[in-house]
Structures are given as structure tokens and as C-alpha cells.
Amino acid sequence: MGVEWVVMRLMTFAVLAVIVRALVRARLLPANRPARFRGRGAVVCLGASTVQGNVSYDWVASLARRLPALSFVNAGINGETSAQVLARVPSVVACQPSHVIVMVGANDLFAIRGSRLAGGRRTTLDDYRSNLTAIARSFPGARVALMSVQPLGERMDAPENVAMDRVNEVVRTVAAAEGVAYLPFNERMKSLISDGDRPFRDSPLPVLLAMVLRLGLGVSLDRIGRWQGYRAHSEGLHLASPAGTLAADLVEEFLRLRGGGHDHAG
């Protein structure tokens, strides 16, 4: 058995260990998830990976540092659609929240468009509207805000961002119809990357690579984004710190407003 063979085997095991570590960590739920909250009056952030914040910038943790007098609950789970988020609403209601911030829709768009990132799931824009309306109506004792969904990649005229505009029009109309706040995250992020030209890649590979780099090796999201040519994303889907900071800013503005749920941060 030669030295080169041993070295190759060790390198293979090391790579596999990094990949396994990343996959295991991607499945871990936030420490401050709804099931662990005891009390009432929390600010609950509800959604998918851009809320969970382990493969995307953790703006919920950022808010907790900024506003230590408030209790924050992270009800984000990677990869979920609005239907899956709706099914988890009872766990959020059990927290008796004072505020609920909802950001969900990227995975719905993948399923609407038949994207390779949808994992074979299919849905419609009408299903998304119905699910989002039901979510908005589920918290009568709380101030609710619906946040628009981030652009995909940094070319605003790309077909997937034209489709994302239709998703965010649903977010706006549901917020208006239900009398809850609308937080224009997509719009602010577009201003940040208005002259960007890095397209979104409709493939699981950039997401998996970023996941391994971030959760397996601890590489920062900003560095991953620079390597892949993005200014505000890590790999065209998830948020690096420039975009994540915008999300935290918007939610902080909303939380500092007084009055009922008809506020529109903008």
C-alpha cells in the first residue's frame, strides 16, 4: 500500500466529512425556534432559508443583538414553501407573539416555474396567494408584516426576476387586503444591486457548493458571494451581509413603529 494511495484515501475521507458536516448542520433548526420559546409577546420571524439564517445571513440574530429588550423567535426552515409554512402556523400561534414577520415565496416560485431547485414540487401563483392570505389571517392578536422576496441573482431584467415581481405583487396585494404591513425588501435590494449583472443559475450545484463552504468549512457568506461574482447574494439565492442588513433594517423600522398593523415601511 503506497503513500500516495493512503494520502488519497485520507483526502477523500476529509472531503466526505466536510460534506456530511454541512448537510447535518443544514438540517439543524434554530436554537430559538418556536418549540423552545416559553412565554408570550415574542417577535416571531416566519419563513424558509432566508429566515432560518444558517445558509443565508441571519438577520433574526442581528435584530436580537440590536434590540435586546425584545424576545425573537426564529421560525424559519430551509427549503419550505408557503404551504409548509402555513402548516407550521399553530406552533407560532402558541408563542402568543406580539409581532409576526413573514418572508416566504422563493421556493414557491421554483415550484411554479418547474425549476430544478423545486425538487419536483409543483404549485401555482393562486395557491401561493391562498396560502399567504391564510398565514396573514392567523395572528389576530399580533402586528403582522409580509416581507417581499429577494431578487434571484443580480440581473433585474432576467426572466426569473420578472416572475419574482409577480410573486411580490401577490405579497403587496395580500398585505393591503388583509390590513397588515408590507415590508419592501425586494425593492430595497434592487436599489442595492441596480447595476449588477451576475445572473442566477437555476441549478442546485451553486447552492450545494455554498452550503458546503459555509456550513462545512466556515467560509463567510460574503466571501462566497465574491467568489461567485455577487455583491449582495452568496450564490444568487441566499443573502450575504449587505442584503441581510437591509432585511434587519426594514424589520427594525417596523418594530419601532407604533400603532396597528396597517403600517407600510417603505
Provide the 3-class DSSP secondary structure of residue 143: strand
Beta bridge partners of 43: 72, 99
pLDDT at residue 253, rounded to an integer: 97
Contact 71, 17 (CB under 8 A): no
pLDDT (tens digit per residue) in 10-53: 566 666 777 888 888 888 999 999 999 998 999 999 999 999 99
User: b/e string for 171-194 if b means 16 or more Cβ within 10 A?
Assistant: bbebbeebebbbbbbbebbbeebe
pLDDT (tens digit per residue) in 204-229: 999 999 999 999 999 999 999 999 99
pLDDT (tens digit per residue) in 140-181: 999 999 999 999 999 999 999 999 999 999 999 999 999 999
Task: Give all domains of the chain, ordered by start, each with its CATH number.
Answer: 3-256 (3.40.50.1110)
Distance (Å, whole) CA 34 – CA 148: 23
Percent of the chain predicted with pLDDT > 70: 91
Beta strands in the chain (DSSP E): 43-47, 72-76, 99-103, 143-147, 181-183
pLDDT at residue 24, rounded to an integer: 84
pLDDT (tens digit per residue) in 100-129: 999 999 999 999 999 999 999 999 999 999
pLDDT at residue 262, rounded to an integer: 42
This prediction has a pTM of 0.91
| DSSP annotation of 177 | H
pLDDT (tens digit per residue) in 239-252: 999 999 999 999 99
Of the candidates 202, 221, 29, the one whose C-alpha atom is nearest the C-alpha of residue 119 is 202
pLDDT at residue 196, rounded to an integer: 84
CA dihedral for 42, 69, 244, 257, sign (positive or negative): positive
Q: Average pLDDT over the chain, rounded to whole?
A: 92
Which three cell numbers, joined as nine digits, stand for 118? 423545486
Phi-psi group of 153: left, alpha or beta (phi > 0 → left; psi -120 to 50 → alpha; rest → beta): left
Of the candidates 239, 228, 37, the one whose C-alpha atom is nearest the C-alpha of residue 147 is 239
